[in-house]
Amino acid sequence: MTTGLHLAPLYTDHDPGPGHPESPARYTAILKALGTSGLLPKLASIPSCQAELPEIELCHPRHYIELARDEVAAGLDTLSTGDTQICEKSYTVATHAVGAVLNAVDAVMTGKLSRAFCAVRPPGHHARPAQGMGFCLFNNIAVGARHAQKKHGAAKVAIVDWDVHHGNGTQDIFYDDGSVLFASTHQSPWYPGTGAKEETGAGKGQGTTLNFPFAAGAGMKQIGAAFQDHLLPALARFKPDLIMISAGFDSRVDDPLGHFKLTDDDFAQLTRWLMAAADEHCQGRLISVLEGGYNLTGLASAVTSHVTALI
């Protein structure tokens, strides 16, 4: 059972500006922590590549992709669609983040790897089909799920999002699609203001969106119960061909952009539960994609704990 890891130095080229929490230092902290952990020799390297336009169009209309490209090229510091800060290299970096997830999907779906973690930035789960928002340009994990379906014939994909912020973009993309299960544990009320328990999908997607909003101060007691009592049984009923994790570590204790209390050991346990579900339902196929996490020390230690569990 081989676990893959994607790292690429170009992720430091996306710089939203001085003092911005989604900074290049996030990637540097992860790289340093994994480099000193002794884990790297145990992990297969997943190469970098730039996603092509038709691949990104699996979840985003061409007019939005071109808008993002052109606004980056024009030197704007914020996308016109919302609150996403950009720099001259943001489009290149964001399309490589998508491409990395596609490479991980290819490796896992063809059996070259059993599991993977992609340490990409910018994050993606707030990106709606035609709107970048919340630090995100493109929805990396959503494009990966669609790629698994289109290229590899995955009938059902499950996406589990444990970021402290609700993955509104991922929810929007799959809200009326019964072939993708989206489940989120998140702080509420909190940015972006979506993810009520009553948001459960529409049309053919009714029942395949699961939201577990919790008040500030929630930790493993509440989130672990949501997994054990609801999310894991839902995965058993859904029987996915691939499980993906929107791995946001801003749900960790002491993160500046959230007020949850998860610990490094808690992330390891959540990871093991999802690995067990993948073993039971989809031959172990599991792909984790970095989302948030803004306390650099906490991010580094949480990612190390998560990757250790994945091996």
> What positions carry a catalytic annotation?
126
Residues in Cβ contact with 32 at an 8 Å cutoff, skipping those fewer than 6 apart: 300
Helix (H, G, I), strand (E, B) or coil at 151: helix
Alpha-carbon span 93 to 248, nearest angstrom: 19
CA gyration radius, the chain: 17
Assess contact for 291 and 121: CB atoms under 8 A.
Answer: no
Residues in Cβ contact with 132 at an 8 Å cutoff, skipping those fewer than 6 apart: 64, 68, 79, 81, 82, 84, 126, 138
CB atoms within 10 A of CB 77: 12
Structure tokens at 142: 């959503």
Q: Is the dihedral of CA 225, 196, 163, 184 positive or negative?
A: positive
